[in-house]
Amino acid sequence: MGLEEKLPAGFMLTTLESVIGYMRKASIWPATFGLACCAIEMMAVGTPDYDIARFGMERFSATPRQADLMIVAGRVSQKMAPVVRQVYDQMPNPKWVISMGVCASSGGMFNNYAIVQGVDHIVPVDIYLPGCPPRPEMLLNAIIELHQQIQSAKLGVNRVAAARAAEAAALSATPTQLMPLTHDHGHSLPITTGRNPLA
């Protein structure tokens, strides 16, 4: 987006990547985006018991234009989905997303028409955080994992190559409905490797 996009690959870019990665990971401001019960655990991370301030993240931004991390904490309803996308689109690049809790990651126990079955249908997700609700320690661990991703992120032509490799890997992955079953749940359906047994 800036100077780093214009630089060629090489030793200088590698050194610049590590410096920029360090600065980016140390200056993340999350957006205030609590949707359900997971938001209580997200708020607990700001208390002195867990102290998110040690990562420089104590300022939860009320405006998306000053945030670069969206923590989607809780279930996303169909009515809320366009708002989630609008807030994500208003965040400046580079930006990251943590899907906090099983409801945000996969719809959780709400397998119905009113709840989006995974926030990754709306925005790209960098870290999936399981649990119902996940403990504050788990959120801190997810933030540390995100810091490692940011620190090792590529820039310039290296970033383009990394993005193309990730996209090719995602396109070549076997869809979950075509994966072989790992065990039988007591159903009398014929189990065929590599095919959807429900089809």
List, as one string, the DSSP characters of 109-134: T--STTB-S-GGGTS--SEEE-SSSP
pLDDT of amino acid 176: 60
pLDDT of amino acid 169: 74
pLDDT of amino acid 62: 81
Which sign, positive or negative, has the C-alpha torsion 124, 83, 176, 129? positive
Contact 101, 73 (CB under 8 A): yes
Report d(CA 163, CA 157) in Å as an integer: 10
pLDDT of amino acid 35: 85
Contact 110, 78 (CB under 8 A): no
The beta strand positions in the chain, using DSSP E, are 30-31, 69-73, 96-100, 127-129
User: For residue 30, which of 2, 52, 49, 54 has the smallest C-alpha distance?
Assistant: 52
Q: Which residues of the chain have pLDDT under 70?
A: 1-14, 156-159, 163, 167, 170-171, 175-177, 179, 181-199
